Amino acid sequence: MKEKLEALLREGREKILAAANETNLQEVKASLLGKQGSLTEIMKEMPKLDKSERPEIGRIVNEIKGRLTALIEQQREELVLKASEIPADFDVTVPGTAPSGGGLHPITQMCYDLNDAFRSLGFEIYEEEDITSELYAFDKLNFPPNHPARESMDTYWLAGHDTGATNEKLCLRPHLTGGSVRYMQTHKPPYRFVYPGRVYRNETTDARHERAFFQYEALIVDKNIDFASGKIMLQSVLSKVFGREVPVRMRIGFFPFVEPGFEIDMGCLVCGGKGCSVCKNVGWIEIMPGGTPHPNVLRAAGLNPDEFTGFYVNIGLDRLVMMRYGVDDVRLFHSADLRFLQQFK
Amino acid sequence: MKLSLNWMKDYVAFPDDLDLKQLAYDLTMSTVEVEDVRPLAESFDKLIVGVIQEVLPHPNADKLRICKTDIGGEIKEIVCGGSNLAEGMRVAVACPGAVVRWHGEGEPVVIKNAKLRGVESFGMICASSEIGLADLFPAKEEAEITDLSAFDVPAGTPLADALDLNDIILEIDNKSMTNRPDLWGHYGIAREIAALYHLPLKEIKKFDASGIPAMKVEVQDFERCPRYIGAEIENLSVKPSPWQMRNRIWKVGMRPINALVDITNYVMLATGQPTHAFDADHIKGNIVVRRAADKEELLLLNDKKLELTSDDLVIADTESAVGLAGVMGGSKDSVLPETNKVILEVANFNAAGIRRTALRYENRTEASARYEKAIDPERCDQALSMAIELFKEIYPEMEIKAFSDSYPEKLVQQEIDVPVSWLEHRLGKEFSQDTLTEVLGRLGFATEFHEDIMHVTVPTWRSTGDISIKDDIMEEVARMYGYENFDGEKITTSFTGAVNQLEIDLERKIKEYLAFRCGMQEIFTYPWMEDQYIQAVLGSTEGMLAISTPPSPTEKYIRSSLLPNLVKAVAGNLRYYSEFSVFEGARVFFDRNYTSRYDQSEQLPEQRKHIGGAFAGDYKNISSLFRQAKGVLENMARYTHMEALSFRQEEKPVWADAVVWLNIFRGDVKVGDFALLSKKAALESGIKNSAVLLFELDAELLKPFTSRTNEFTHLPEYPMMDYDLSMLVEDSVKWDEIRDVILSKKKQGSLLQSVSFVEEYKGKQVPEGKKSVTVRLVIGSLEKTLTSSEIESCAEGVTKVLRKKLGAELRSK
């Protein structure tokens, strides 16, 4: 009898743990503890026992009943926890449906990243029209009257507006800087603004040259800015945009509208400065001209250059994006080719 | 510009342990951008001098020979087709591993041992063009191999050693020194290196012309020709220049010609000062420097025939022009095979004039490129003395018959006062007088101090415009000190107000709305349009601005609408995608409304910022495509927080389909159009089977709200019921009418809360000429939970009025 009971407990436990669902478990419960269940069957043999054995066996029966009931409850909880109405072979490796596939142009993305960084430093965003006069494209920027950039082989002059005095000649802006002078003329110093926009050059295009491309100017003008302060500003902005420390170096460069002028390089992010094909093995990428606004430019804006000074940079957005992603053909930016544009989220 | 390191060593003594990388870095940081530093010998690796011992016939080929060639202790058999092979000849041998170009063309090839027509050949015997030496050893006929017999070196000598090509070539980015006329020669860069590294610079002594008879030169325009030195030199002849001169000229990218021409080029490459030699026998009378007569003709050295203008300066004799001053000599006076006396010209010309002339005739030369940077006239002395030295060296028997130096107005050296306190404030560093004197002194600047003022005298070679204000002096100090060595102060700010730019923000909100919420892809296109798309979409170029030198003849006009380029972008992308939507924000231009928006003196045409979009899809799905596109526009104002837009038909855009078009309004102001591209426009744009819906908005007419415009309403306490009704109406009945009729039942206190469109259906079960429209009513009360009969009676009211007003038959509810 005792052996039978122990065997029942052993088998009962196995059956309970093997029950795969609630219905199953109910059947197991009935087969063990129900009116026609195994335990009831065994108990029917009780009267055949010697009287002295009965209390002991009775205790064991109760214990087994308790343990089986507890096991069944335990298993029921387990089953509820694991329960699913979905067939087990449901394929969870099937890919999800993509959200609507639109996006901003990678140049716009870079521009907005820079806007956010500069705005966090209190910069305003300035914008202006694309057609300007020679006066603001060149004269106000200290370009000498015979500077090569003024020629039609470099600048897109408008038909019917390509002769005459410099205030009458109109062109698609060859750079943004003329607009910065206008900003300064119409606002009170100190200045702190960025100026994104598209500029145009009459060029033969290839993978590295475009007729329309994007610049991003930043200008601070104030009384107490020394000539290297801009480096800190630039470093912090680029580090924010790229999400890591970006080394920046300034070296000699000549641009009519700055004095002193810099070429500003940033450490190549593709190779980390070790040298690769993107940076032509130099470890640095020329990313923008910069410098202190030339006294003639400040004068053109109506400021006294002995009182005011500043820091100016003109970031080449196309080059920055190309470098960031390893894009090897600048013409892709104006291709309107979705196969290219949809790569940038 | 290419520079030879060996050449520069003539002027500055480099330390033995010179680190080339460091030199390139230092020059790049402080002076000019060094693009490349390369040992020239690299290109001549595995190329050696061989001596031909025996020339044997090739058993299988008539034109080939087998040359038993001594390559230094070893005799190798080399198969060669050279026409001039001879025993005892020194030749250039490309050993296995050397890089050559077959017949000087195509990609470089690495030489391997190979069988030629059945005979094993060790490497190859080279023609000059195959190893990049064609300019140094011009071949007289095609199959000629290079004869190096003149170079007395043992067999096996590396070619670079034999030809003295062990040099380092620096390549400078010309753009980085357009403002520095003093740097356009070896001496100029050597001077800069001497200054950077505290090294002594060799001085070029002035030529002493005393005792030489005067030569007659008539300069008529000293403004255009501030200085003219002429020297008549005799007892010369045309012969090759010495090897070193040839090889230096070649190494930095020019072609050696003959000693007379080479001397002038050599002097230019050394000093940056162009010089010219005229054949003296061809000069009639004397040299005259004058303006050209209008339409005066001149045949240039390169056989270009020019018709001159009075703005051109010419060098002439008493009969006619013999050269275009500072640009190129004429063919009449050039050095000819029989030339034996020359007039050497060392002159200074006005930069702007040279530039205009060179551009006018598209005839830019090494000389004009240098003149147009504004060379200082004092440099003529260096060039003259170097040239005379070279003539003496190459033609010991030469004689200077006559000489003149017309230089009426000496160059004035710039003098600039720099307050030291200003300099220190701007640079953020303190400098002692000694430091400033020393740093500037290295660059040739003289300094004197009077209290706070540093009086700087600029050297002649920097006095032609390069250095003219105190900020220029600041730059000199900064670059010599090293830009890298300035840390910069942190920039401080004071609060005035938060940056608040509503229009700028609105544009970004719209772009982000279109991209992220509406699933459209932003594109950029050029401002110029192709004629084909202008014609297809707009039909006319009226009122458009054009570029005078356009990117291409068919891309003259710049956009007055974003649509032609959007359509072009759609057509392009339809090759790869059948359904997509794109948008662009850019400025458009009109040849009208010229106003002075920024500056009184400036009249600018109307330029407006537009936003346009295109939705491309299958014609069969035009209804859903239309609803998708219209939904984008209808919801734009709400999501971007600007004043609401509405739609109605007032004036059909020229490019629009006859039926599917709407004008877009903000209040009463028309702000744009939205329509299906007409079939005609689509076909003319190369779009065949796709429907293209387009919109264009004038972004400047959109009005941003000053803040977000959400309103809170209490959540309903009692349930609101959605009640869908499907009805049959005539095809001609518009949704606007249905909505208005239903809303006429929505009165104060009525149970009808709102109505919305669910779907429209035509097809089976719907009779011809009719359509089924399903609407959703929201029925409910703010005061109680409605009973079903109350709901039904409300819906009943709606169906009744629809039947009465529009003849609608209820299909289901």
Q: Give the tens place of pLDDT for each residue, B277-301.
A: 999 998 999 999 999 999 999 999 8
Q: Which among A54-63, A302-311, B658-667 has the top mean pLDDT? A: B658-667
pTM of the model: 0.82
Q: Determine how many CB atoms are found less than 10 A away from the CB of residue B812.
A: 9
Pick the CATH number of A106-341 from 3.50.50.60, 1.10.10.10, 3.30.930.10, 3.40.50.300: 3.30.930.10
Domain ranges of chain A: 2-82, 106-341
Q: Considering only CB atoms, which chain A residues are within 8 Å of B524?
A: 105, 107, 198, 333-334, 336
Q: Considering only CB atoms, which chain B residues are within 8 Å of A173?
A: none
Q: Considering only CB atoms, which chain B residues are within 8 Å of A259?
A: 469, 471-472, 474-475
Q: Which among A184-198, B512-526, B744-758 has the top mean pLDDT? A: B512-526
- Cβ–Cβ gap B573/A158 under 8 Å: no
* Residues 6+ away with beta carbon under 8 Å from A89: none
Asked if the peptide bond before residue B704 counts as cis, ω within 30 degrees of 0, the response is no
Q: Considering only CB atoms, which chain A residues are within 8 Å of B472?
A: 259
pLDDT over threshold 80, residue B497: no
- Cβ–Cβ gap A336/B524 under 8 Å: yes
- Cβ–Cβ gap B515/A119 under 8 Å: no
Q: Considering only CB atoms, which chain A residues are within 8 Å of B556?
A: 159
Does the domain at B502-701 match CATH 3.40.630.30? Answer given as no
How do residues B594-645 score in pLDDT, each as one tens digit? Answer: 999 888 889 999 999 999 999 999 999 999 999 999 999 999 999 999 999 9
Mean pLDDT of B566-588: 96
Q: For B96, list phi and psi in degrees, rounded to 5.
A: -50, 135
- Cβ–Cβ gap B176/A254 under 8 Å: yes
Does the domain at B415-485 match CATH 3.30.56.10? Answer given as yes
Asked if the peptide bond before residue B39 counts as cis, ω within 30 degrees of 0, the response is no
pLDDT over threshold 80, residue A12: yes
How do residues B77-86 score in pLDDT, each as one tens digit? Answer: 898 888 888 8
Q: Residue B558: what pLDDT? A: 97
Q: Considering only CB atoms, which chain A residues are within 8 Å of B568?
A: 336
Q: Is A167 exposed, middle or buried (0-12, 13-18, 19+ CB in 10 A)?
A: middle
Q: Which residue of A has its CA nearest to B32?
A: A252
Comparing C-alpha atoms, which of B76, B149, B155 is closest to residue B111?
B76
One-letter amino acid at B213 equals P
Q: Which residue of B has its CA nearest to A201?
A: B551
Q: Considering only CB atoms, which chain A residues are within 8 Å of B545?
A: 131, 158-159
Nearest-neighbour CA in chain B from A241: distance (Å): 18
pLDDT over threshold 80, residue B142: no
pLDDT band at B255 (very low <50, low <70, confident <90, very high): very high
Mean pLDDT of B181-199: 94
Q: Residue A270: what pLDDT? A: 78
Ranges of H-type helices in B443-595: 470-481, 502-512, 531-533, 563-573
Q: Determine how many CB atoms are found less than 10 A away from the CB of residue B645.
A: 20
Q: Residue A326: what pLDDT? A: 84
Question: What's chain A's Rg over C-alpha atoms?
Answer: 40
pLDDT band at A338 (very low <50, low <70, confident <90, very high): very high
Q: Is A225 exposed, middle or buried (0-12, 13-18, 19+ CB in 10 A)?
A: buried
- Cβ–Cβ gap B521/A182 under 8 Å: no
Spatial strand order of the sheet with A191-200 comes to: A124-125, A191-200, A212-222, A309-316, A284-293, A258-267, A248-252
pLDDT over threshold 90, residue B588: yes
How do residues B86-107 score in pLDDT, each as one tens digit? Answer: 898 999 999 988 988 877 777 8
Nearest-neighbour CA in chain A from B465: distance (Å): 10
Nearest-neighbour CA in chain B from A139: distance (Å): 13
* Residues 6+ away with beta carbon under 8 Å from B732: none
Q: How far apart are the first and last CA of chain B?
A: 85
- Cβ–Cβ gap A229/B573 under 8 Å: no
How do residues B311-337 score in pLDDT, each as one tens digit? Answer: 999 999 999 999 999 999 988 888 888
Length, in residues, of chain B: 813
Q: Residue A239: what pLDDT? A: 87
Residue B260 and residue B338: Cα distance in Å, rounded? 12
How do residues A269-327 score in pLDDT, each as one tens digit? Answer: 878 888 887 777 778 888 888 888 999 889 888 899 989 988 989 999 998 898 888 88
Angle at B622 between CA B617 and CA B628, to 5 degrees: 75
Mean pLDDT of B760-775: 90
Comparing C-alpha atoms, which of B112, B333, B326 is closest to residue B221?
B326
Residue A50 and residue A2: Cα distance in Å, rounded? 13
pLDDT over threshold 80, residue B494: no
Q: Which among A254-263, B127-136, B340-349 has the top mean pLDDT? A: B340-349
Q: Which two tokens stand for residue B421?
A: 């306190």
For residue B534, how many C-alpha atoms fall within 13 Å in the half-sphere facing its CB? 19
Domain ranges of chain B: 2-33+173-196, 42-162, 217-406, 415-485, 502-701, 720-812
Mean pLDDT of A253-264: 87
A-B CB pairs within 8 A amount to: 235
Q: Residue B5: what pLDDT? A: 95
Helix (H) or strand (E) holding A14: helix A2-18
Q: How far apart are the first and last CA of chain A?
A: 75
CATH topology of domain B217-406: Phenylalanyl-tRNA Synthetase; Chain B, domain 3 (3.50.40)
Q: Which among A72-81, B28-37, B104-113, B262-271 has the top mean pLDDT? A: B262-271
One-letter amino acid at B452 equals D
ipTM, 2 decimals?
0.83
pLDDT band at A140 (very low <50, low <70, confident <90, very high): confident
- Cβ–Cβ gap A99/B472 under 8 Å: no
Residue B559 and residue B529: Cα distance in Å, rounded? 6
Q: Which residue of A has its CA nearest to B500?
A: A124
As assigned by CATH, the class of the B42-162 domain is mainly beta
The whole-chain average pLDDT of chain B stands at 92
Residue B126 and residue B145: Cα distance in Å, rounded? 6
Q: Residue B719: what pLDDT? A: 92
- Cβ–Cβ gap A153/B549 under 8 Å: yes
CATH topology of domain B720-812: Alpha-Beta Plaits (3.30.70)
Q: For A214, list phi and psi in degrees, rounded to 5.
A: -115, 135
Are the CB atoms for B645 and B674 separated by under 8 Å?
Answer: no
Lowest mean pLDDT across A28-37, A107-116, B344-353, B390-399 = A28-37
